[in-house]
Structure formats: C-alpha cells, structure tokens
Structure 1
Amino acid sequence: MSFSRLFRTAALSLSLALVPWVAIAEEEPTIQLAILLDSSNSMDGLIDQTRSQIWNVVNALTDVRKDGQVPQFEVALYHYGNDSLPSYEGFNRQLTDFTPELDNVSEKLFEIQTNGGQEYSGWVIKSAVNQLNWDEDEADFRAIFIAGNEPFDQGKVGWQEAIALARSEDIIVNTIYCGSAENRERALWAEGAEIASGANFNINQNRQVIVQESPYDEDIRALNDQLNSTYIPYGAEGTRGLNRQIQQDVNAGAAIVTRGSSKGSAYYRNASWDLVDALEEEAVDLETLSDDELPLALQGLTLEEKEGYISEVEAEREEIKAQIRDFTSKREGYIRNLPVNDDRTDTLDYAMIQSLREQLARKGFVLE
C-alpha cells in the first residue's frame, strides 16, 4: 500500500473512531502492474523499448474508470538474468516497489545495464509475488508482465510453482517471448500465461522505436516545459524529485511527446516531493511544515498566503494539463488517420495494451 493510501486510511480510521456516524468515502480502485525484464546481453532492445513505450501504455489507460472513479495507477519494476546480480537471489533484483510516481520507474529503467546471465523466469515471478506490496482488495487489478527470450523452465524455482503462487493471490501473469514465434521455447511461455489467466505475445525486441510525428508535437513539448514550472518541491525529497523530473524529460528523447501526454493525465503523481500533489492526497499538513522544508517562495509567508500561492499554482497546472490533453487528443486523431505503412504489433507496448484492455474489463474497469 502506498504512503498516501496509508495516510488516508489512518485518517479515515481516526475519523470513524471520533465521529462514528461520519460517512466514509470509498477508497479509489487500483491498477498494479509489475514489469519483469530480462536484462541479459541480448536484451538491450527490450530495455530501450520499455524506456520509451511505458508512456504509450500509460496514455492508453488514461480514460479507464471503475465505478466512475479514476484508478490509482502503480508500477513496480524488476530485472533478471543478469550476471551482475547475486546468484543466491536468482539473478533478479527489485528496482522499485509499487509506486504511483512514474518518474521513479523511468529513472530505474535508464539505470539498467545489460549483462550476460542465467534467466530464471520462475524465480523472478515468485520474487515479485512474495516481495511486492500487492493491494489486498479483490476488486483491484493485479498483473505481472514478464519478458525474456530463454527457456521458461530454467532455475531451481519451477515455473509451475511460481504460476500457482500468482494464481493463489489472484495475480494475472502475462508472458512476452522475445524470439522467433516458431521457436519451441515459446510453448512454455504460452502455457504459463494460459494457466495464469494471462496473455502470451511474441515481440521483436530489436524493433526500433519510432515516435510518430504530428503537427501538435511542438505544442505538447512547450506545455510540458510550462507544466514543470508548476511543481513545488518540499522536504528532503524535493530537490531530488524536481531534478529527476527534468532528467527523465531529457532521457525521453523523441518520446518526450508521449511522456508529456502522460504528464497531463491523472496518473502522473508526485506526492513524495511536490507540495501540490502532497496536499491533494493529504500526505502532508501545510501548517506543520517548517520553512526549511519549503522553497524560498513560500518561506516567511503566513499560512493563508501559502495556501493562496499554492492554489494559484494548482489552478495554473490544471489549465496546462487540460491544454496538453486537448493537443494529445488532436495528435491521436491525426495519427489514426495516417496511412498504415508499417506493422507495429510486435513491440512491447502493443502486447501490454492489448492484454490490459481485455483483462481490465474482466475486473470491471471500463475504458471510457
């Protein structure tokens, strides 16, 4: 459970204890995706696809609702099959627990260095099921996406054991085989997904990622820069979070357009370091923050003046986000009307988006 959700749960419990008749609002629905990436020598293309296409996945889900609510969207990240990781850990490593702060995920993706190793699919699936902070509400959506190109049955943790564990926790497992569709090794990848109520895809991990250009891209880039200026760093993580945001814009390269679109959505949250998001999620109390924890623009102001300043920044942010969403809609409409000259159904984002749309619907999530 995220820090913000823990905070809200504690606050609601206190309210119930003090005022038993108070109506308690329903907790927002949650989508949790754990992405497990083979980072052995041959997987540079897979890592590159994930770095840029994660934003396509986010954008494809921005209109998802459940019971009229915008879900909490959280991503966790592992890499495996890498000799730089300890053998006693199954050559796999958790890079992030579930987080709604997508810049953290992007940062970790760009830190992955591929290296030859032993790809133990069963072990990393078991690690993800046991180690991650999965939500316990049965109505929420929980899924694993594991991508790799080696036999699915390597390592001392059998894939059957790992899949059975995931099923027992109502966690869907989707498998993405990065190799020839006719390869016999793919059969176990497909069988694992079928048993775990997931989907199996075959992708070309070396397919070069091309971001389709549109007449609206410059507008989105400019608005993205304006959006960054509305973030108010606070506390120990403030400066680091702001620097991370800027660095991930740089890392995105041509994908800054799709990343910019994601930043205009409700899924882009930064409550651990941005004061606007933190106050909206009730993760902090403005009245108790010392001047040392605030940026210079807020130091020395009265509480009322601080609240006024933050409200103005929040309003500006919402206006910029609305403009980003408008240009994103126009961009998507433009791209849909272009002639299809190339088949892009063999990349990571296509695999994830197609499976998520069907699986979310099974859980009662609606793509509006």
Structure 2
Amino acid sequence: MQKLTRILFTTALTLSILCSPTAAFAKAKIQIAILLDSSNSMDGLIDQTRNQLWQIVNFLSKVRKDGEVPDLEVALYHYGNDSLPSSEGFVRLLTGFTPELDLVSEKLFSIKTNGGQEYAGWVIRSAMQELNWSKDPADFRVIFIAGNEPFDQGPIVWTQSVNLAVKGDTLVNTIYCGSAESQERQLWASGAILAKGSNFNINQNQVIVVIKSPYDEEISSWNTKLNETYIPYGRQGRIGQQRQATEDSNAGANIAMRGASKASEYYSNYSWDLLDALETGKVKLEEISDESLPEIMRGMTLTEKRTYVAGKKTERERIKKTIRELSQKRTEYVERQRKASTDKGENTVDSVIIQSLRQQLAAKGFKLQ
C-alpha cells in the first residue's frame, strides 16, 4: 500500500511539473556576454559599443523561437586596464547576465580606458566560470571578445579557456581591432574556430555616421511620454528612474534607436518599475507597502491602485505601438539613405555582432521575422 501511495504521489508530482505554465511554456533564452578590451587604444571600440548597443537590441527584437520572443540577457566585462587589479588578471565584471538593458548601457558608459595587460584567456575563463549560463541545450549562449593584443597574452592558456566554452556549448566570436594583415590576428581567428564561432577584423576608430530621419523628433517626443508611464517602487525605484533618464541623455543622436528598443519586448525594468514587476510576477500589488510606492499612490485603496496601474499599462502599450510604427518608417528611410551612401557601416562592432548573430541564431533554430 505504501509503495502504491509513493507511485501515485510521484506520478501526480511529475504531472504537476509537466503541466505547470513554467514547464510547458518556458521561453527560449539568448545569453550574450560582451568582453571589451579597455586599454588606451580602445576608446573607439568602447564608443562604438556604447553608441550601437540599441542597434543590436533592435535587430534581436525581430528574433523568434517557437513563435515567441525569447528572453534576452546580457553580461559585460572589461579587461586589459591598469586600473584593475593585476591579481585578478586586469579583468572586471561590470554586470552579470541581466535583462535590464539600461544597466548594461550605464556600465558601458562607466568604462574608462587605461593602459594594461590584455589577458584574453583570463577574461574568457572568468566569463565561463562566473556567469550564470543557462543549462538548457535549446538556449543560445555566446561570447563576443574584442581587443588588439596577442590572444595568447597572460598566464592563462587561451585554449583551456576556450575549451570551457566548448564544453558549455557556448560560441566564442572574436573581434580583432587591428590590421587585417597582422600575424596576431591568426590567433584570434584560432580562438573562434576552436569554439565554433566567427572571427572578425574591424576598424575600432571608424566613426559611425548616424543618419537622421524625418521621424526622429517625433520618436523622441513619444519616448519622453513613455517614461511617464513608469511607476518607480521600492529601494531601486528612484535609482532606476534616474538611470533611465541618464541613458536617454547618453543616447544622444541615437535616441530614436534607443526609443525603438524601449518599445520592444526586450526593454524590462522589473527591479524598479511596478508595471514590469507585476507583469513578470516578481511582486503582487496587495503585498507592496504604501511606503514602497510613489507618493501619488499612497493612501489609495487596492481597487484604486489596480485602476491606476491598469491605466498606466494601457497608456504604455498605446505609446509603444506608436513608437514601433514610427520606428518602422524610420528604418525604411535609413535603409534607403544607406543604400545611396558610400558609407555602408560594415566595419564596426555592431555590424559584425549582428552578422554573426544572424547566422548563429538561425543555426540554433531561432528565426528572424
């Protein structure tokens, strides 16, 4: 009888797990770790990555897996900088995997270049050992490492580090920021080949030309309205809201591209925005104290709070829809202008990242709309 009871209990538990929404409808995940050389000669590389982060996000917003938008997580390291401890291989983790892209942008703008020893093997090993990589074989895992010094520099053997990525089913794409004829480039290519990734050579000092469109000002205006739909809550509320405003300012001439990213499903701020936190199930409205809410919501009944939140959500979706429509028109306009231009923007960090993602995501079963 006890044996039958255990069998029935195990069967019921298994069915419960299999039939739960999380198990049945778990979304695919894209994990991208970006490893940037921040030595003196890499100012151009850092600037390109800062300025084109939103271009990469906008490309990824068109990717689907099993008909759904995958979850996106980005991690960021910089290395090869004398301001970092030599005992840590001149390597610094700026953020682990996070879906909050404003945090990634903030960390990119915090990087200050300085001379140093560029240990590619060390930073790849750190990324593989320290980051919370998905164990699901259906998910997409990739490292992008960029630099211009010998790939075998430092005490950590690069082949051992890259083999950690191979064992973790993680692609390694290498971006050499130096002369295409340099002998040093060959080792960078070897690193990518070993990890079944791609190797690129870019001009890190190439200035990216931002093509203005007739839709930019309108997108910027709607972006400001979008910010007004965010409801800061908890300890991170004020910090997150200020970060959002700062990264809008940091976007500069790229504010239209950033606006498009903010209107996509990848723009999540559940650590500080009440709407995103409720949407992802991180919090329940009835469990949040008045002190954790913005002043306008304090003293409201639960029904009034739900009405207020629902109104902000409706407004946000309306604004996002408008931004998406304008961004589509802007994309079509910019593509026409680029085709007529001699500057095709094909030798910058964003272009090679998008090129490799397009091919590698497809090989993993992800589809581009």
SS in 2 for 1:73: strand
User: 1:1-368, aligned counterparts within 5 Å?
Assistant: 22-24=19-21, 25-338=24-337, 339-368=340-369
Secondary structure in 2 matching 1:337 = helix
Instruction: Tell me, in whole angstroms, the C-alpha distance in 2 between the residues paired with 1:120 and 1:162.
Output: 11
Q: Deviations over 1:339-366 (max 9, x none)?
A: 0221311100001000001000111110
Q: What number of residue pairs does the alignment pair up? A: 354
Deviates more, 1:318-327 or 1:20-29: 20-29
Normalised to the residue count of structure 1, the TM-score between the two structures is: 0.94
Q: Report the Cα distance in structure 2 between the residues aligned to 1:114 and 1:310, rounded to whole angstroms.
A: 43
Deviation at 1:237, TM superposition (A): 0.2
In 2, Cα distance between equivalents of 1:323 and 1:197: 40
Deviation at 1:210, TM superposition (A): 1.9
TM-score normalized by the length of structure 2? 0.94
Deviation at 1:81, TM superposition (A): 0.1
Say if 1:20 and 1:54 are closer, same or farther in 2 by CA, change over 3 A: closer
Kindly state the Cα deviation for residue 19 of structure 1 after the two structures are TM-superposed. 6.2
Q: In structure 1, what is the Cα distance between the partners aligned to 2:263 and 2:334?
A: 19
1:10 is matched with which residue?
none
CA distance in structure 2 between the aligned counterparts of 1:272 and 1:63, rounded to whole angstroms: 25
| Structure 1 residue 298: Cα displacement | 1.0
Give the superposition deviation at 1:18: 11
Over the residues paired in the alignment, what is the CA RMSD in angstroms? 1.5
Shift of 1:209: 2.1
Measure the CA separation in 1 of the matches of 2:82 and 2:209.
30
* Inter-CA distance 281–17: structure 2 relative to 1 (3 Å threshold): farther
2:148 and 2:20 map into 1 onto residues whose CA distance is: 51
Task: Flag structure 1 segments of 5+ consecutive residues without an equivalent.
Answer: 1-14
- Which deviations, in whole Å up to 9, do the C-alpha atoms of 1:230-275 show, x marking residues without a partner? 0000000000000000001111111111111110100000000000
Mean Cα deviation higher: 21-30 or 206-215: 21-30
Write the distance in 2 (CA, Å) between the matches of 1:173 and 1:287. Answer: 45
* 8 Å CA contact 1:98, 1:133 repeated in 2: yes
Amino acid at match of 1:215: P
Shift of 1:17: 9.0
Percent pairwise identity: 60
CA distance in 2, matches of 1:172, 1:18: 35
17 and 229 in structure 1: CA distance in 2 versus 1, 3 angstrom threshold:
farther
What secondary structure, in the 3-state scheme, does the structure 2 residue paired with 1:215 have?
coil
- Whether the 8 Å contact between 2:33 and 2:143 is mirrored in structure 1 is yes
Q: Secondary structure at the match of 1:359?
A: helix
**Structure whose alpha-carbon radius of gyration is higher:** 2
Q: Is the 8 A contact 2:208 2:345 kept in 1?
A: no
Give the residue type in structure 2 aligned to 1:347: T
Query: In structure 2, what is the Cα distance between the partners aligned to 1:118 and 1:148?
Result: 11
